[in-house]
Structure 1
Amino acid sequence: MAVLNRLDINAEEESPLAYPEAVRAKSLIEIVEDSVRQGRAMLAFQPVVSSDPSHQVVFYEGLIRIPDQTGRIIPAGHFIEKVEERESGRLIDCLALDMGLRTLSRVPGLKLSVNMSARSIGYSKWMELLIRALRSDATLGERLILEITENSAMLVPELVSKFMADMQKKGISFAIDDFGSGVTS
């Protein structure tokens, strides 16, 4: 008879490392969620340059960075998939959008992309942040690129299409983040 422990790991069917890995993953999620609740996050600005000989910066990508309690940055690849379906994933998107919009407000010539999950389209706090910012400064939309993760966009393509059409009218550009990564080896 298989016995499930507190982490829903089937001890008889999983490898000996399954339980310690699940404990570590749960601990990481708790650390990330604690940081998000306390607003401990920042954007790292990665320049995206043109491929022509000038190599001019075309825009910057605002990448969310979440520190642990000691201040060390937790690699996003270690937690993003684990929080994608949780409310903390929506809160991370809210933090990234809010910081991105504030940066655009402070730096008038900046063009910035911000990552998001399609799940955040239906999250009222995220939408309110976006709509409020666009109402306060119509030029923000022309300088904002929303990068929707491919996997999340494929879950609700009709919703994403309508959202994109509505927001493109306000000047927002879109990109698909991690395009093709789910089918590459």
Structure 2
Amino acid sequence: KAHQPSNECVALRVCIRHALTGLPNRRRLMELLADVTDQNNCTTNFSAIFIVDLDNFRLVNDIQGHESGDQLLINVAESLQIHLPQEATVARFSSDEFVVLLNTLGEQQGKATHKAERLARQLLEAVAKLRNDRALPITASIGISLFKCLGLSVNSVLQQADMALQQAKAAGGNSLRFFNMEMQTSVLERARLEGDLHQALERNELSLHYQVQVNHQGVTTGVEALLRWYHPQRGWVSPATFIPLAEETGLILPIGHWVLKLACEQLAKWAQQPAYAALTISVNVSSVQFQQPGFVRDVESLLALTQAPPSRLVLEVTESLLMSEPTRVRSTMLKLRSQGIRFALDDFGTGYSSLSYLKRLPLDELKIDQSFIRELLTDKTDAAIVDTTILLAVSLGLTVVAEGVEKKEQFDWLKGHGCYRYQGYLFGRPTPIEYLFEAY
């Protein structure tokens, strides 16, 4: 009895090791890494963290079952231990993610980097040689953070390795990447920008600018509402920078609702003014926003609240949205269409460009992306694409709008080829609503 482990010891083992692989778990690794990064234990040697993530591991579980996946994880754990030096620590960090800690890579950064890279490539080769019981090939991606203890926290080291891992994944897998300071700077800047974006709406830093759309006679038929952000320190922040960030973080939902509300309020004002009552306002709708279960209800509520005429509201959607869950997307579009709302397909030709959805979905307009208009007069391929797009849209009964028209020669070419709606600097730049009125 004296030689049998106590319940307390058994509990401790369970706490620090994974039952499946027998490797140290996340908690134990964090303790070891804390010791390495503790300034009281600093040495002049470089250390490294490898995050080893199996590529497409989900396929093993989905196709062959979890038992096969478990066996593969056991095999990977064994292979990593065989190919690592004795002083290295390997832990299972999550489902198919392993972390390797190396402490003795030397004092020279160049040699430490070379040693880490050579070892990481050996691990990639070892994993690639593994086969589970049904011979499904398996590969891994590795992110590496090379560091000394000075000034780094445990989370910082792991974050660096994870960022490097994402680069390896983006390269197609079965590869390794090292973290570098440019990546860190980019991540920190993104975090600061996200924090500022959280405050932008309540601080009234966001605004709508409007760009006119005209017909072939030069008459303004409508405007597109374009979101702008003026930051008190950064100045104007490019929509290409902050809109993808808003989509990734979910901030696009309150921001998108605000944009729609302002557009509807403007339409309601114009409806009371004969000179502007026929104008439309086009609003870009994010796929994140469009696919929310309550999107139709929200739009209907805004229309009821503002008393905006639905037939003057044009929602611009992208090809990527139309290709994801097409049945659900079509249902949403039809519900909104029944209210009188119109739809435009934005940036046509830059996405999937599958023609089958054009006849199935309730579209009214097709907008030719400015990238094709830009070289229209000098690139025969772009000219052919634009010409074919116009013919296609006309045959389907869709209005064609050319974006990015900046030269009269482009306008003349488009008019001569059957495109009668335009938007671009030739007719007006995006401008606040108070200055837009001055144009009339």
Q: TM-score range by the shorter chain?
A: 0.7 to 0.9
Does structure 1 retain, via aligned residues, the 8 Å contact 2:264–2:308?
no
Cα deviation for residue 125 of structure 1 reads 6.7
Could you tell me how far apart the structure 2 residues matched to 1:138 and 1:41 are?
A: 24
Could you tell me how far apart the structure 2 residues matched to 1:68 and 1:156 are?
A: 36
In structure 1, the partner of 2:236 is: 73
Q: Say if 1:99 and 1:6 are closer, same or farther in 2 by CA, change over 3 A.
A: farther
1:106 corresponds to 2:264? no
Deviations 1:35-86 (A, max 9, x none): 0344532110000112x2x121121000111222348331100122222232
Cα deviation for residue 133 of structure 1 reads 3.0
Could you tell me how far apart the structure 2 residues matched to 1:163 and 1:38 are?
A: 33
1:57 corresponds to 2:220? yes
Deviates more, 1:147-156 or 1:95-104: 147-156
1:143 corresponds to 2:297? no
Q: Say if 1:150 and 1:67 are closer, same or farther in 2 by CA, change over 3 A.
A: farther
* The one of 190, 196, 199 aligned to 1:31: 196
Q: Say if 1:79 and 1:30 are closer, same or farther in 2 by CA, change over 3 A.
A: same
| Number of residue pairs the alignment of both structures matches | 183
Cα deviation for residue 146 of structure 1 reads 0.4
Cα deviation for residue 138 of structure 1 reads 6.3
Does structure 1 retain, via aligned residues, the 8 Å contact 2:161–2:178?
no
Could you tell me how far apart the structure 2 residues matched to 1:95 and 1:138 are?
A: 16
Q: 1:1-185 counterparts in 2 under 5 A?
A: 1=50, 2-3=144-145, 4-5=158-159, 8-10=162-164, 13-50=178-215, 52=216, 54-70=217-233, 72-108=235-271, 109=277, 110-123=279-292, 127-136=296-305, 140-182=309-351
Deviations 1:114-151 (A, max 9, x none): 11113213436754441123335666211000012333
Give the gaps of 5 or more residues in structure 2.
1-49, 51-143, 146-157, 166-176, 272-276, 353-370, 373-440
1:62 maps to a residue whose letter is A
Could you tell me how far apart the structure 1 residues matched to 2:179 and 2:347 are?
A: 30
CA RMSD of aligned residues (A): 2.8
2:320 maps to a residue whose letter is N
Q: Say if 1:104 and 1:81 are closer, same or farther in 2 by CA, change over 3 A.
A: same
Could you tell me how far apart the structure 1 residues matched to 2:227 and 2:191 are?
A: 20
What TM-score comes out, normalization by structure 2 length? Answer: 0.38
1:65 maps to a residue whose letter is R
Secondary structure of the equivalent of 1:107?
Answer: helix
Identity %: 22
What TM-score comes out, normalization by structure 1 length? Answer: 0.83
Deviates more, 1:93-102 or 1:17-26: 17-26
Q: Say if 1:125 and 1:42 are closer, same or farther in 2 by CA, change over 3 A.
A: farther
Does structure 2 retain, via aligned residues, the 8 Å contact 1:98–1:129?
no
Does structure 2 retain, via aligned residues, the 8 Å contact 1:47–1:59?
yes
1:46 maps to a residue whose letter is Q
Kindly name which structure, 1 or 2, has the bigger radius of gyration based on alpha carbons. 2
Could you tell me how far apart the structure 2 residues matched to 1:130 and 1:19 are?
A: 40
Secondary structure of the equivalent of 1:55?
Answer: coil
Does structure 2 retain, via aligned residues, the 8 Å contact 1:133–1:140?
no
Secondary structure of the equivalent of 1:114?
Answer: strand
User: Which structure is higher in RCO with an 8 Å CA cutoff and minimum separation 6?
Assistant: 1
Q: Say if 1:85 and 1:71 are closer, same or farther in 2 by CA, change over 3 A.
A: closer
